Each structure stands twice: as C-alpha cells, then as structure tokens.
Amino acid sequence: MVPGAAPSLEYLPAPGEEFPPSSASVVVPVLPTLLQLYGVSNVTLSNLTFQHTSGGDCHADKRFKACDSDEGAVAHNALVVGGGVGVTLTSLTFRSVGGFGLYASGTAGLIVDRVGALDSGSGGLFVRSCPRALINNSIVRGYGRRFAAASGLTMTGSRNGTVSHCDVSGGIYSGLAGGGTDDSGAYSLFTLNHVHDNGSEDDDGLCDFGGYHGASGGSVLPLFMRSNVFHSITAYANGGSGMYFDVSSTSWQVSHNLVYNVTNSAIHWNVNPGVAQAWTSEAEPMRFTNNVLIAERDNTYYRGNGNHSRGGKAGPWGLGNAAITWNGYTPAFFTRNVVVIDATAAPSRGAWFEGRPCGADKLPQHPPGAARCSGDLGDNFGGTNVSQNVWFNRTASASNTPTFPGSCPGTTATSCGTMHGCACRSWAEWRALGQGSEGLWQVDPQLGSGPLKLVSAAAVLELGIEPLTELANVGPDWDA
C-alpha cells in the first residue's frame, strides 16, 4: 500500500499461468470468523455455507513462530462454538476458509452431522473438551492449505465422544487426531472412518505423523480405535504411519483396522523420550487385536536409509522401515493380527519390528509398568502378550528376516549396540522366549484382490482372526 494512494493488490503470475483467469473470480477474504456461538443451548444450525474467511495473521499471536505451528494453532476459525449444551450442526459446508472450518470447545453433547469441510487453510473440524460429542457422516477434503501442520479432523479431551463414518483426505499432515491425556478422552471412539491420500513427498511436505496421530498419556480408562481404514499416507521424510500413538500413550483398544500403502509403520507406539510413562496398575493395557497391517510402500527417505545407516548405525539392506514401531514398554496385547511385509517395490520393507529400548532413556531399571528396563528392545515386551498373529513376507524370494525385538550384538544397559532398530531375533528365538505362541510364520493370509483385504486362508481363520467385512460401511453415505 502506497501512502495517499488507493489500496491495490498486485499478483505475479506463475510461469504459464493466466491472470486474471478468464473463468474465475478473485476473492480477497477479510473476516477471520463468520459466526460465534457462546454459551447457547439446544440450538441447531443447518443448511448453511461458510466460505472465504481470512484465517488470521500467522505472526499476530506471539506465542507461535510460524504458520506451520503444531496443529495449526495460530489459525482462526470460520465457526466457533464455545460452552453450552446440545448444539447440533447439520448439513453445513465450509469451503475455502482460511483457517479451521469449525472450532468447538466445552460444548457437552455437541452433534456434528453431514458436514463438509473443503479446501481449508488449516484443519477442517476441531472439537476439544466436548463430552459426549458426536462427529458423524462428515467429509474433510483438502486441508492445511495455509497452516500446514493441522490435522484434518480432531476430537480431543472429549469423554465418551465418537467420530464415525467420516472421510478425511487431501492434507499434508494427519487425517484423524485426538484422544486426550490423563483420562480426559476416556471412552472416545473412532470407528468406521476412511482416511486416505494424505501427506506429500515434495519439499513442501511434513514429517512425523500418520493417518491417525494423537496421545493418551497417563490414561487409565480405555479409548477405542475400531474398524477404520487408513491407506495412501506418505511424508516428505520420516513419517507417514498408519496409526501413530504418541507421547507415551496408554489404554488404547485398537481393533479391526486395515492399514496399507503407507510409507512408515502400520502401527507406531511412541514414548516421550527421557520421561517415564505415566502408568498405574489399574490402567487398561494397550491392545492391538484383529488388525490387518500391510507394509508394502516406502519413499525416497526410507529407500535411502534402508540399510539402517542413520546416526552411525548399521544393518542389512532392507531392514530400515519396519511394519511395527514399538517404543512403549507398559503392559500390552498384540494378538490375532495379520502382518504382511513386501519389499518388491519398496526396498526398505524387510523388518517386522523396530523400536527404542527403554534403557536408552536411562530410566530406572524398573520404571512403572516395565518388568525390566535395558538396552535390549525385548525387555520392552516383558509385560506384553504377542500371540496368535500371522507373519507373512510376500516379497519374491523372501529371506528369513531376523527382526523380532532384542538380542542385537553389543547390547548394554542403555544401548542395543550398532543395530538401528534394535530388533535382531529370529522367529525361532522369539518363540523360545514364550512370545509368538499359536502364531503362523510365512503363511499367506490370502487377502484377495478387493479393497477390504479380507482374510480367507483356513489356517488363519482357525486362529480366530475375523475378516473385516464391516469395513464395507466405512465413510459417509454422501459425497461433497
């Protein structure tokens, strides 16, 4: 703006771009928020469209340093709902908003149904501290356009809340997010959602996220991740997991999910490095049951580090990107799952497990929840039942990959030696420890060619593993 002159906006077209475009108008949004509802009860909004908000100034809030602040925290919201009881939002559309579409906080019994958030500058839908919230039959398509590190759909700290039949795609960070620490998200349920085509391998991409990414550290009561589909998730470098339970999560009950075509681990259970997990004996164990987990994709980052050369570590080529990353050490169950690895088109995919032994954090030898803490990753599994699973390497001329937890050369009290991944046991050695009982090794689960990857092998079904037929009903019953 030139002092004394009329306001003007100049735009330099990209090479090959026509401007102004012959078939489109130019919209300059001004308002960051269109509607705010505070302390209202028993109110319904329906059949409205919220469009073209500014999203706010990246540098106006001094608490945040950049537009890519975690979870797009600096962004503004087209619709804000705060407090109150019984607010219903149905058949709403958020289109081309500069920040979040919806931000709701402290509204008990909130219902979000048949809502579309399309091309959002930040996340699509964000719900915090709304007990008994229901986000159902909704679509988030295209998010993080300006505030890149925002998740598509978040429900966090909302006891007895449910996210169901939603479709989340087209962002460069996590699709689903939430949970809640210290039981703030107890009994949360994420079910029958379809999360796909997120992340970017270009240099504008982000790292360290997944189809789902969240935390529940310190929780005793259960949270549920059940019957969801996560696929086509990638990242610029490290990241692109299927389901990522971060920051010393506890109490998740993870069952009947399908993960495939992701560039990092199908399941990633992480800890807060250097900090003992907040755990009590009353806490529900982490449970991973009857999931189908397929690791058959990688990216340039993992292909370049597929020999575990990061950080001065070493290891055989093809063991740099495990199907399962397991850093947790509190009690857990990993039972009746199907795990498939395939390095045919993804050379880093040769490992079953990798992780960080709790001894690497130099914690007490017996931190809460751990029978023993050392540099051997196998000790992280002291209170874990790993049984009745199917392990199948479908790579052509597959080798017998020794990547079950622990027993790496040079292991000490705080280090697994020079092997990145810390998983060096063979299947036979793992079985000798009492793990892997009733499991099947190199048995083809016969997942078929359909999108649901339905288990059909008789030997697998005899373990009690159920085909995921309910996944035919994932996602909404409409399209935006």
- Residue-wise pLDDT for 32-72, tens only, equals 999 999 999 999 999 999 999 998 877 666 666 666 677 88
Q: Are residues 360 and 330 in the same domain?
A: yes
Residue 362 has pLDDT above 80, yes or no: yes
Best CA proximity match to 124, nearest among 171, 159, 87: 171
Residue 18 included in any domain: no
pTM listed for this prediction: 0.95
Q: Are residues 414 and 343 in the same domain?
A: yes
Give mean pLDDT, residues 377-393.
96
Query: Is the C-alpha dihedral spanning 161, 165, 168, 173 positive or negative?
Result: positive
Residue 344 included in any domain: yes
Residue 308 has pLDDT above 80, yes or no: no
**Residue after which a domain boundary falls, among 121, 150, 179:** 150
Q: Are residues 188 and 224 in the same domain?
A: yes
Q: Is 311 left (phi over 0), alpha (psi -120 to 50) or beta?
A: left
Residue 461 included in any domain: yes
Residue 197 included in any domain: yes
Q: Are residues 97 and 200 in the same domain?
A: no
Residue 73 included in any domain: yes
Q: Are residues 261 and 359 in the same domain?
A: yes
- pLDDT band at 174, cuts 50/70/90? very high
pLDDT digits (tens, 9 = 90+) for 202-253: 977 899 999 999 999 999 999 999 999 999 999 999 999 999 999 999 999 9
**Quick one: pLDDT at residue 370?**
86
Where is average pLDDT lowest: 219-228, 265-274, 395-404, 425-434? Answer: 395-404
Where is average pLDDT lowest: 78-92, 206-220, 397-411? Answer: 397-411
Instruction: State the CB neighbour count (10 A cutoff) for residue 454.
Output: 18
**Quick one: pLDDT at residue 66?**
64
Q: Per DSSP, which regions of 96-209 are E strands? A: 100-105, 111-113, 116-118, 125-128, 134-136, 139-141, 153-156, 162-164, 167-169, 176-179, 189-191, 194-198
Best CA proximity match to 100, nearest among 41, 33, 15: 33
Instruction: State the CB neighbour count (10 A cutoff) for residue 432.
Output: 11
Give mean pLDDT, residues 91-95.
98
Buried b (16+ CB within 10 A) or exposed e, 340-357: bbbbeebbbbbbbbbbbb
Query: Is the C-alpha dihedral spanning 298, 299, 302, 305 positive or negative?
Result: positive
Q: Are residues 139 and 49 in the same domain?
A: yes
Residue 397 has pLDDT above 80, yes or no: no
Select the more confidently predicted residue: 410 or 308.
410
Containing 47, the helix (H) or strand (E) segment is strand 44-51
Residue 266 has pLDDT above 80, yes or no: yes
- pLDDT band at 368, cuts 50/70/90? confident
Q: Are residues 166 and 112 in the same domain?
A: no
**Quick one: pLDDT at residue 7?**
72
- pLDDT band at 277, cuts 50/70/90? confident
**Quick one: pLDDT at residue 220?**
98
Sheet holding 353-354, edge to edge: 35-38, 77-82, 100-105, 125-128, 153-156, 176-179, 210-215, 241-246, 267-269, 324-326, 353-354
User: In Å, how far are 66, 73, 258, 426 from 63, measured between CA atoms?
Assistant: 10, 10, 38, 49
Where is average pLDDT lowest: 18-22, 89-93, 187-191, 389-393? Answer: 18-22
User: In Å, how far are 11, 89, 220, 271 from 278, measured between CA atoms?
Assistant: 52, 37, 10, 10
pLDDT digits (tens, 9 = 90+) for 97-127: 999 999 999 999 999 999 999 999 999 999 9
Q: Are residues 199 and 58 in the same domain?
A: no
Q: Which amino acid is at 265?
A: S
**Quick one: pLDDT at residue 270?**
96
Where is average pLDDT lowest: 62-71, 314-323, 340-349, 392-401? Answer: 62-71
Residue 8 has pLDDT above 80, yes or no: no
* Domain extent for 203: 152-473
Instruction: State the Cα–Cα distance between residues 315 and 320, nearest whole angstrom.
Output: 8
- pLDDT band at 384, cuts 50/70/90? very high
Q: Are residues 286 and 234 in the same domain?
A: yes
Helix (H, G, I), strand (E, B) or coil at 430: helix
**Quick one: pLDDT at residue 4?**
72
Q: Are residues 377 and 457 in the same domain?
A: yes
Residue 25 included in any domain: no
Q: Are 126 and 103 in contact (CB under 8 A)?
A: yes
Residue 385 has pLDDT above 90, yes or no: yes
Q: Are residues 166 and 74 in the same domain?
A: no
**Quick one: pLDDT at residue 65?**
62
pLDDT digits (tens, 9 = 90+) for 443-463: 999 999 899 999 999 999 999
Residue 22 included in any domain: no
Kindly state the percentage of the chain with pLDDT values over 70.
Answer: 94
- pLDDT band at 421, cuts 50/70/90? confident
Residue 352 has pLDDT above 90, yes or no: yes
**Residue after which a domain boundary falls, among 96, 122, 150:** 150
**Quick one: pLDDT at residue 371?**
81
**Residue after which a domain boundary falls, among 150, 168, 190:** 150
The count of domains in the chain is 2
Q: Are residues 63 and 107 in the same domain?
A: yes
Containing 458, the helix (H) or strand (E) segment is helix 458-461
33: which residues sit within 8 A by CB, 6+ positions away?
Answer: 53, 76, 77, 78, 79, 80
Residue 10 included in any domain: no
Mean pLDDT for all residues in the chain: 92
